[in-house]
Amino acid sequence: MLLGVVLVSCARIDNYEEPKETFTGMLIDKGTGEPFHCCPTGGTKLKLMEYSWDENPTPFYILCKVDGSFNHTKLFKGEYGVQPVGAFVPYQQLDAEGNYIRNDEVRLKIEGTVKYTFEVEPFLRLEWVGEPSIDEKGRLVGKVKITRGTDNPDYQANINYIAMYVSSTPSAGNGNYIANFSQYRSYEDTDGNAYIGEELQYTSKTALYTGRTYYIRWAARTTTIINGVQHFNYSDVKAIEVPAASDSSEE
């Protein structure tokens, strides 16, 4: 009898239409109007709360791409609360008692294709100084300038990590880099803050292979924890082509 009940229940057909609404857009730096550069391993997300049926729904997340864009084409039609989560001042903030001191969650009715741009205040802003180059030993040389991306003192924590990531793909960053060619350093207490507003130069540990194209990206992290994670801020990605070694042999 039990087997019969199981077989009957398994024979039921899911007749719900598949989700087909699209939510697309960008994250931009509020201070510059430029795209917010995201982590290549899914560190920057959109938190969605579907309020169509419940005022206390289970959240789910959409990942943002490296260039700050997002595009989800399989959402159910409904009303959603949306907020970005990453290396920037959070849209929702709580006091010690768990009460909101900021709640800028965006309410959207998603039907058809909905486009939206989120403005964020990054913890740090990383800007290239000049272009990456190759020195006489074949090593990569890069320079960066790091500044605060927000005036909010609660989110101006100490810098504890700075990296120049080198990769064979455009999605260079934490979790996608070549260790021998990248350069990264940890900093204690306030030591990393000494580089705020200054030009910082890193040189790759070893010479790059010739005849290849590499992608370089700066990253820095503060001690601020968002959703249990210390998130990275990034620069844009630059490519450098290392010419093939010349053949000086005689025929």
Apex 191 CA angle, 194 and 143, nearest 5? 50
Percent of the chain exceeding pLDDT 70 equals 92
For residues 196-214, give the mean pLDDT.
Answer: 96
- Grade residue 42 by pLDDT with cuts at 50, 70 and 90: confident
Dist. CA 97–CA 40, nearest whole Å: 35
Whether the predicted pLDDT of 149 surpasses 50: yes
251 band by pLDDT with thresholds 50, 70 and 90: very low
What the chain holds in terms of domains, given with CATH numbers, is 21-120 (2.60.40.1120), 124-242 (2.60.40.2060)
pLDDT tens per residue across span 210-234? 999 999 999 999 999 998 999 999 9
Q: Which residue has the higher pLDDT, 28 or 2?
A: 28
Mean pLDDT for the chain?
92
**Residues facing 105 on adjacent strands:** none
CB count in 10 Å sphere of residue 16: 7
The half-sphere exposure of 151 on its side-chain side, counting CA atoms within 13 A, is 2
The CA distance from 36 to 28, in Å, is 5
What pairs with residue 126 in β-bridges?
146
Task: Judge whether residue 10 has pLDDT over 90.
Answer: no
For 57, list phi and psi in degrees, rounded to 5. -80, 165
pLDDT, one tens digit per residue, over 80-117 is 999 999 999 999 998 888 899 999 999 999 999 999 99
pTM of this structure:
0.88
pLDDT at 137 over 60: yes
**Please, which residues have CB within 8 angstroms of residue 250's CB and are 6 or more apart in sequence?**
none
Task: Give the pLDDT confidence score for residue 231 in this predicted structure.
Answer: 95
